[in-house]
Amino acid sequence: MLAVDDAEAAGNAAKALALVEGMPIGPDGRPWWRPQRVRRLRQLVALGDAVPDWVWGRWVIAQAAQPRPGRDTDASDVAVEIRGGRSTLWGVDPDDAMTKVIGHDWVFRQLILHERGGLDHFLRRVAGPRLLDLAGDVHSWVGVPMGAFELVSERADRIVWRDLGTGVAVDTLNLGGASLMALGEAAIGRVVRSGEVSLFESPPLCVPPDVAHDVATSPANWMDALNRGCREEWGAVLADLIAKAHEFDLLFDLSSRLRRHVLQPVDPDLRCDNVGTGGNGADYDVALVLAALGGELPLKGDDAYDARWGADAMRPLAPLVSAALLEPDTRAAIEPLLLASDAAAVSRLVDVLVPPADALCRQIRDQLSGAA
């Protein structure tokens, strides 16, 4: 495990993945590695040189979000108390419940990274020169305050928010963070810069209006705001969002489980009740990408989906297709189904999908063109 930690901190995803695949099962006969960790490594290796700076930055975040031995021992207790106490724990047994706090709890992640200085420590003491070089502006992510943002509009490539603290419009890369939100609803999170783009360093958390107002008024007291919110009218919903909604994907802000609930396919075998957290999930993703290639999905939606559009307006689906394509098994599944004549359809996706999915489409297109 330490060798994998070292390879990741050095920025060597290929070496880390090779080590992980060399020991998939632990001494107890159970899978040794967290699925999300393996998934991140597979995605990085598959993308190769097409990985943008912001993705490397998020890989830094994923590594820094782990509790440090001998420190942060109370962080899980603090996080659980904020969302309502031990009655909000979920899992098959107490150990599994604590593992789920570390892997899924939104408050725990923010607490470790920022309030407890995990990101700063990782950058100063752990990360190697190559990883720091790949991650570009990631040092500027340290100390970014919590913010509260109202959803204003959504395009295929970006989301427009209104910073409730300043009133200023903020554009972020569309990684699906607003896919389950209605216009006018609010979320909290930390918006960071990476080169020419802005994004949330971790998925934003949808919150009730009162919580958003309190965070906008006093960003440093965001945990108090959530603590109050979890004990008010929508407290049970907010507690579930904090505890269960996030898998902290590297390339997308919405977990694969929730993403597959947003758009229901025609095939009943691929619907969300059959997909769940596994099952036909890979088949669903393949079907979604093929539907996009066939021109069956409004990838751009009603351009600039905002308050001017009525309840029947179509939101852009390009981010969902991007996420499906970037799942580790999707490309290998669709490539045998494509012909050289499909290169034009793949090229159309290049122009609309969110990075780095556009780069993956470019690779597939070039491969098809070369085979013509």
Which pLDDT score, from 0 to 100, does residue 268 have?
57
Look at the alpha carbons of 298, 302, 304, 305 in this order and tell me if their dihedral is positive or negative: negative
Nearest CA among 255, 252, 264 for reference residue 288: 264
- pLDDT tens-digit readout, 119-174: 999 999 999 999 999 999 999 999 999 999 999 999 999 999 999 999 999 999 99
User: How do residues 297-312 score in pLDDT, each as one tens digit?
Assistant: 889 876 556 655 555 5
pLDDT at 207: 98
Number of neighbouring beta carbons within 10 Å of residue 25:
10
Name the CATH code of domain 142-244 (choices 3.40.140.10, 2.60.120.10, 1.10.150.310, 2.40.50.140). Answer: 2.40.50.140
In Å, how far are 154, 157, 213, 259 from 306, measured between CA atoms? 7, 14, 21, 21
DSSP state of 66: S
335: Cα within 13 Å, side-chain hemisphere: 15
CB atoms within 10 A of CB 124: 11
Distances (CA, A) of 284 to 10, 34, 93, 256: 35, 23, 31, 11
Residues in the chain predicted with pLDDT less than 70, given as ranges, are 264-280, 302-313, 371-372
CATH 2.40.50.140 segments of the chain:
142-244
For residues 264 and 149, what is the distance between their CA atoms, to the nearest angstrom? Answer: 28
Tell me how many helices (H) and strands (E) the chain has. Answer: 19, 8
